[in-house]
Amino acid sequence: MDRRRAVTGTAIAAVMLFGAVGAAQAQGAFGELEYVSKFEALSVNDRDSVKRGCPPGTHVLGGGQYLFSGFQTAVLTASAPFDGGDAGKQPDDGWKTTVDGQDGFANELTVYAICSSRQPKYVQRSVRMREEDSRAAHSVCPTNTRVLGGGARLPGPYRSPFVHDSAPFEDDEWEVAAFTFEPGTMVMSAICARTKTDIVSDSGIAPGQSFGEAFPACDEGEPVVGGGFSGRDIGLTGTISAPFDGLDGDSTPDDGWQVEMDNDEGTNRTVFGRAVCLR
């Protein structure tokens, strides 16, 4: 399919707000929050990684990406917090997304990081994957903490792995489901903190051989700090998973989470989006 993905009003607002590299601020129940992003045009038929670091003195709470692509012209192989090599040895320095482009399309990627003046806990789990393996796994937060964000890095060369679920599963767990043609180790991350959160869900229909969207929105005064997508079907692959700015007039993408998934199956599938909101 040679058309571009439809862009929603909230997505347009987010892209116009940030441009190539941008930042916006909000007050949260877990420190001062900053929403930052980075835009890049991607290579054709190749693998690209884009990082967006947090501002100095802040730590990543969650993140994601807006992958502007045609239907199945790109697959997501990693979306996770990263360690920038500082002395802390924690993946608290920003967000990194890796995309495999295909079918001759010039795709575009905006990576988002949601950062705080307070430092959360980072729980990482390694999951061994076999050849042609589909695997779902959970990363669980420490006792008395809540999950804020999470993600995964997948093993394998170009056009081998892809993510089809990455979302909060319970108040204290992050779930990832993925497939790879080549064996290797999937590294999952859950970002956790002692704070109060609400997990808000929304769903939409992805028609066969097309894409579907969902837009879980936080209540007023509860800024979004993370979110993800889930289809519970290997035929669904995630592309967009990012914060959005609603109609509150503050130009900060803290109002909810937008998700989009491609459906490779011939019949309708349900796309689920989940947002983690601070209260």
For 195-233, give the DSSP string: S-EEEEEEEEEE-TTEEEEE--BPPTT--EEEEEEE-SS
**Secondary structure E strands in the chain:** 21-27, 32-41, 47-53, 59-68, 74-82, 94-101, 108-116, 121-129, 133-140, 146-153, 161-170, 173-180, 184-193, 197-206, 210-214, 224-230, 236-244, 256-263, 269-278
**All structural domains of the chain with their residue ranges:** 9-278
Residue 148 has what pLDDT?
Answer: 98
Q: What is the mean pLDDT of the chain?
A: 91
| pLDDT of res. 86 | 76
- Per-residue model confidence (pLDDT) at position 152: 98
Around Cβ 44, how many Cβ atoms within 10 Å?
Answer: 13
The answer to whether residues 90 and 46 touch, using CB atoms and an 8 Å cutoff, is no
Give the right CATH number for 9-278 from 1.10.287.3510, 2.40.40.20, 2.40.50.420, 2.60.120.690: 2.60.120.690
Which strand (E) or helix (H) includes residue 18? helix 9-18
Structure tokens at 52: 């967006």
State the sign of the Cα–Cα–Cα–Cα dihedral 170, 220, 151, 215. Answer: positive
Task: State which residues of the chain have pLDDT below 50.
Answer: 1-20
Predicted local distance difference test score (pLDDT) of residue 178: 96
Say what the pTM is: 0.92
Burial environment of residue 185 by CB neighbours within 10 A (0 to 12, 13 to 18, 19 or more): exposed
Chain-centre distance for alpha carbon 59:
16
pLDDT at 3: 34
Q: Are the C-beta atoms of 274 and 216 separated by less than 8 Å?
A: yes
